[in-house]
Amino acid sequence: MAAFDRDLFVIGAGSGGVRAGRIAAGYGARVAIAEEHRVGGTCVIRGCVPKKLLVYASRFPDEFEDAAGFGWTVPPASFDWPTLRAAKDREIDRLEKAYVANLERSGATILRTRAEVVDPHTVRLGDGRTVTAERILVATGAWPFLPADVPGIEHAVTSNEVFDLPALPRRVVVVGGGYIAVEFAGIFAGLGVETTLVYRGEQILRGFDRELTDKVAAAMSRRGIRILCGTDVKALEPAAGGVAAVLSSGETLAPGLVMYATGRVPNTRGLGLEAAGVALDGLGAVRVDSASKSSVPSIYAVGDVTNRVNLTPVAIREGHAFADTVYGGREVLVDHALVPTAVFTTPELGTVGLTEEKACAHHPAVDVYKAEFRPMRNTLAGRDERMFMKLIVDAVSDRVLGVHVIGPDAGEMAQLLGIPLMMNATKADFDRTLAVHPTAAEELVTMRTPSVKHRR
């Protein structure tokens, strides 16, 4: 008789947990996976996927506007939020079913309940039953952070609620400067909502290349989004027509919807981890080694709950690497250094590798190649918005350290640019690559003269 009920108990059926559970079961492990909300987790249910659907919706006004320059007469367009919301819900239901089917096909057992850790080999389910397992994988993700010291904060919504609003507001204040905040500012503005973005820092999208964040902020402002940096919300007050935000500048914004996107905290509260001996950091994230093992040898953690790089593909890769290493007989470590990523603002930002600031901090000689131009489509459309691309090159080794793009399909480009950067491509490799003409991306292989040379 087996010493434990299960070989592996996974807590949380999101990006990381589902992948780990499915692959481990495929290797023959007896896997159970508990989910207290919906299978698919943040990404599928209230994150990446529904957000991208809303981003698509928010960009149609550009299409209608641009069509005239190409000879089209477009009938007056109108937008219906309940139609979009229902279509989005249908797509999420479909994806959730696909996740469930894949998990079940792998042989894992799904338990639709909350689970908490009792000791290094035991979890307690919502109904009080306990299950023992040789290993426990914590994949509980993260939760939106709301500052408790803002009076009236209970009147704000977060990304958890925003996808299911009964109606689209006339006005919105989005609080925060990270990618979720700026993406939602873009979505609301695109859907015709009067949008203000309030952020306490000096510039939105901290951590991204500064020249790009300046350009994205300027482009968003030109599109009618009011961006207030260096500004705090002092209080939220219910008023006719919504909630009014009282700002540190003394201004009170007209009432509307207030959405907070001021960071996310690892989902470890009440999980029983500390009592089981699992070390957490100051934010509550599970401390793990490079193999995602916690301070308790039988307890592992992957994804946002470890607060490493909080993105879906990273959680998936960590879950897969855990299963390969522990159940597949081959050690796989995740490289967190080079993570291509996108910010789905309009215009979009795509990026991979070092920013100009970081490259200069770590390399004595850096060449920066830049191109700024009006994409071809914008000419007939009569649209002024420009595209921007930047290559950061180590002038000593000729290695391309970073590539940053603003403009249509920048996220798609970032994905492909991730491959040469992963392979340590040099600027000479970019130069000898033939262009695809006429495209915007061809600029990436035709930049010949550095715009800036940093030397120290």
Question: In the bound complex, what is the minimum distance in angstroms from residue 303's beta carbon to ligand FAD?
Answer: 2
Piece in contact with ligand FAD (CB under 6 A), picked from 39-47, 83-91, 216-224, 291-299:
39-47
Residues 312 to 341 in contact with ligand FAD, rule: CB under 6 A:
312-313, 315
Interactions with ligand FAD, residue window 143-202 (CB under 6 A): 159, 180
CA distance 20 to 241: 46
Choices 12-20, 382-390, 415-423, 427-435 (CB under 6 A): range interacting with ligand FAD: 12-20
Residue 432's Cα: distance from chain center in Å?
33
* Close Cβ partners of 179 (under 8 Å, ≥ 6 residues apart): 205, 343
Q: What is the C-alpha separation between 249 and 373, in angstroms, rounded?
A: 37
| DSSP string over 272-296 | -TTTTT--B-TTSPBP--TTSB-SS
Options 41-49, 100-108, 147-155, 390-398: segment touching ligand FAD (CB under 6 A):
41-49
- Please select the residue that binds ligand FAD; options are 8, 24, 41, 327, rule is CB under 6 A: 41
> Between the CA of residue 421 and those of 38, 287, 430, 433, 447, what are the distances in Å?
36, 29, 10, 14, 17
Site for ligand FAD in 385-404 (CB under 6 A): none
Catalytic status, residue 437: yes
- Angle 445-369-399 from CA coordinates, rounded to 5°: 75
**Interacting residues with ligand FAD between 211 and 270 (CB under 6 A):** 267
Nearest alpha-carbon partner for 351 in 395, 313, 407: 407
Query: Measured between alpha carbons, how far is 253 from 172 in angstroms, rounded to an integer?
Result: 10
Residue list 112-141, contact with ligand FAD (CB under 6 A):
114-116, 139-141
Q: Residue 197 belongs to what H/E stretch?
A: strand 194-199
Cβ proximity to ligand FAD, 14 vs 353, nearer residue: 14
Q: How many residues bind ligand FAD (CB under 6 A)?
A: 35
Work out which of 4, 5, 27, 36 binds ligand FAD, going by CB under 6 A. 36
Distance CA 147, CA 258 (A): 13
Stretch of 47-55, 166-174, 216-224, 392-400 lying at the interface with ligand FAD (CB under 6 A): 47-55
- Which of 37, 363, 404, 437 is labelled catalytic? 437
Question: CB nearest ligand FAD: which residue?
Answer: 14
47 touching ligand FAD, by CB under 6 A: yes
Give the SS3 label for residue 40. Answer: coil
Looking at the Cβ atoms of 37 and 234, the one nearer to ligand FAD is 37
| 21 contributes a contact to ligand FAD by CB under 6 A | no
Place of tokens 């996927």: 49
Least distance CB 43 / ligand FAD (angstroms): 4
Answer yes or no whether residue 43 interacts with ligand FAD by CB under 6 A. yes
Amino acid at 238: P
Distance CA 18, CA 30 (A): 14
Closest CA to 345 of 232, 175, 218: 218
Tell me the catalytic residues: 437
Which residues of this chain interact with ligand FAD, rule CB under 6 A? 11-17, 34-37, 41-43, 47-48, 51, 114-116, 139-141, 159, 180, 267, 271, 303-305, 310-313, 315
